[in-house]
Amino acid sequence: MIHRLQVPGPISDVEEVRVLQWHGEPGRAFAPDELIVEVETHKAVVELRAQQPCVLRAILCAEGDWARIGATLALASDDPDEPLPGAPDDAPPLAVAFEVT
Protein backbone atom coordinates (compact mmCIF):
# COMPACT_ATOMS: atom_id res chain seq x y z
CA MET A 1 0.00 0.00 0.00
CA ILE A 2 1.11 3.55 -0.70
CA HIS A 3 1.04 6.06 2.17
CA ARG A 4 1.58 9.76 2.31
CA LEU A 5 3.85 11.32 4.89
CA GLN A 6 2.12 14.48 5.97
CA VAL A 7 3.04 17.41 8.17
CA PRO A 8 1.66 16.24 11.53
CA GLY A 9 -0.62 18.26 13.69
CA PRO A 10 -2.13 20.00 15.32
CA ILE A 11 0.91 21.69 16.83
CA SER A 12 0.08 24.67 19.02
CA ASP A 13 0.35 28.00 17.11
CA VAL A 14 1.82 26.32 14.04
CA GLU A 15 0.26 26.70 10.61
CA GLU A 16 3.25 25.86 8.47
CA VAL A 17 6.69 24.38 8.80
CA ARG A 18 9.95 24.38 6.88
CA VAL A 19 11.66 21.11 5.97
CA LEU A 20 15.02 21.02 7.71
CA GLN A 21 16.57 17.66 6.85
CA TRP A 22 15.61 14.38 5.22
CA HIS A 23 17.23 11.31 6.76
CA GLY A 24 17.25 9.13 3.68
CA GLU A 25 16.85 9.13 -0.08
CA PRO A 26 13.93 7.56 -1.94
CA GLY A 27 14.39 3.79 -1.81
CA ARG A 28 15.54 3.66 1.81
CA ALA A 29 13.60 1.37 4.14
CA PHE A 30 12.62 2.68 7.59
CA ALA A 31 11.90 0.54 10.64
CA PRO A 32 9.48 1.71 13.32
CA ASP A 33 10.88 4.58 15.41
CA GLU A 34 13.49 5.55 12.80
CA LEU A 35 13.80 9.25 12.02
CA ILE A 36 12.55 10.10 8.53
CA VAL A 37 12.61 13.89 8.44
CA GLU A 38 13.05 16.92 10.67
CA VAL A 39 10.88 19.97 10.14
CA GLU A 40 11.18 23.38 11.72
CA THR A 41 8.42 25.45 13.30
CA HIS A 42 8.74 29.05 14.39
CA LYS A 43 10.27 27.92 17.65
CA ALA A 44 11.12 24.23 17.56
CA VAL A 45 12.42 21.32 15.52
CA VAL A 46 9.92 18.50 15.06
CA GLU A 47 11.15 14.97 14.38
CA LEU A 48 8.91 12.71 12.31
CA ARG A 49 9.55 9.02 13.02
CA ALA A 50 8.02 6.07 11.24
CA GLN A 51 5.53 4.12 13.30
CA GLN A 52 5.25 1.37 10.74
CA PRO A 53 7.85 -0.29 8.47
CA CYS A 54 7.97 1.53 5.16
CA VAL A 55 10.07 2.44 2.15
CA LEU A 56 10.53 6.12 1.32
CA ARG A 57 9.55 6.44 -2.34
CA ALA A 58 9.29 10.08 -3.36
CA ILE A 59 10.18 13.34 -1.62
CA LEU A 60 7.65 16.03 -2.56
CA CYS A 61 8.95 18.80 -0.32
CA ALA A 62 12.67 19.49 -0.45
CA GLU A 63 14.86 20.77 2.37
CA GLY A 64 14.16 24.48 2.78
CA ASP A 65 10.64 24.24 1.33
CA TRP A 66 7.57 25.30 3.31
CA ALA A 67 4.50 23.15 3.95
CA ARG A 68 1.27 23.70 5.87
CA ILE A 69 -0.06 21.36 8.54
CA GLY A 70 -1.52 18.32 6.78
CA ALA A 71 0.38 18.83 3.52
CA THR A 72 2.04 15.87 1.85
CA LEU A 73 5.82 15.79 2.35
CA ALA A 74 6.59 12.43 0.75
CA LEU A 75 5.21 9.11 -0.40
CA ALA A 76 6.11 5.81 1.21
CA SER A 77 5.06 2.24 0.51
CA ASP A 78 4.94 -1.11 2.25
CA ASP A 79 6.87 -2.80 -0.60
CA PRO A 80 9.69 -1.15 -2.54
CA ASP A 81 8.25 -1.67 -6.04
CA GLU A 82 4.59 -0.71 -5.69
CA PRO A 83 3.54 1.77 -8.40
CA LEU A 84 3.04 5.32 -7.14
CA PRO A 85 -0.35 7.00 -7.54
CA GLY A 86 -0.90 10.04 -9.73
CA ALA A 87 -2.63 11.97 -6.95
CA PRO A 88 -0.40 11.73 -3.84
CA ASP A 89 -2.91 13.44 -1.56
CA ASP A 90 -5.38 10.58 -2.04
CA ALA A 91 -3.08 8.07 -0.35
CA PRO A 92 -3.81 7.23 3.29
CA PRO A 93 -1.50 8.86 5.83
CA LEU A 94 1.62 7.09 7.05
CA ALA A 95 1.62 6.46 10.79
CA VAL A 96 4.28 8.69 12.33
CA ALA A 97 5.28 9.72 15.80
CA PHE A 98 6.37 13.30 16.28
CA GLU A 99 7.94 15.10 19.14
CA VAL A 100 8.28 18.85 19.44
CA THR A 101 11.76 19.42 20.89
Partner 1 sequence: MSADAPPAPRVFFREAIARALAEEMAREPRLLLLGQDIGAFGGAYREFAGLHARFGAARVRDTPVAESAMVGVAIGAAAAGTRTLVSITYMDFLMLALDPLVNYGAKLRYKTGGQLRAPVVVKTTAGAKGQGVAHAQCLEAWLMGVPGLKVVAPSTPADAYGLLKSALREDGPVVFVDHKRLFPVAGPLPAHEHVTPFGRAQVVRDGRDVTIATHGYMTVVALDAARRLAHEGVSCEVVDLRCLAPLDVGTVAASAARTGALVTLEEGQPSCGVGAEVAFRVRDAVGTLRVARVGALPAPVSSNPVLEAACVPDASRVVETVRRLLDPARRAAPPSEES
Q: Which residues bind partner 1 (CB under 8 A)?
A: 13-16, 18, 41-43, 66
Q: How far is the CB of 43 from partner 1 (least distance, A)?
A: 5
Q: How far is the CB of 57 from partner 1 (least distance, A)?
A: 27
CA distance 65 to 2: 23
Q: Give whichever of 14 and 54 is closer to partner 1, judged by the CB atom.
A: 14
Q: Give whichever of 42 and 78 is closer to partner 1, judged by the CB atom.
A: 42
Q: Give whichever of 13 and 33 is closer to partner 1, judged by the CB atom.
A: 13
Q: How far is the CB of 70 from partner 1 (least distance, A)?
A: 16
**C-alpha to C-alpha distances, 71 to 6, 52, 97, nearest whole angstrom:** 5, 20, 16
* E runs forming strands in 8-95: 16-22, 29-30, 35-40, 45-50, 54-59, 66-68, 72-77
- 90 phi, psi to nearest 5 deg: -80, -15
Q: How far is the CB of 38 from partner 1 (least distance, A)?
A: 15
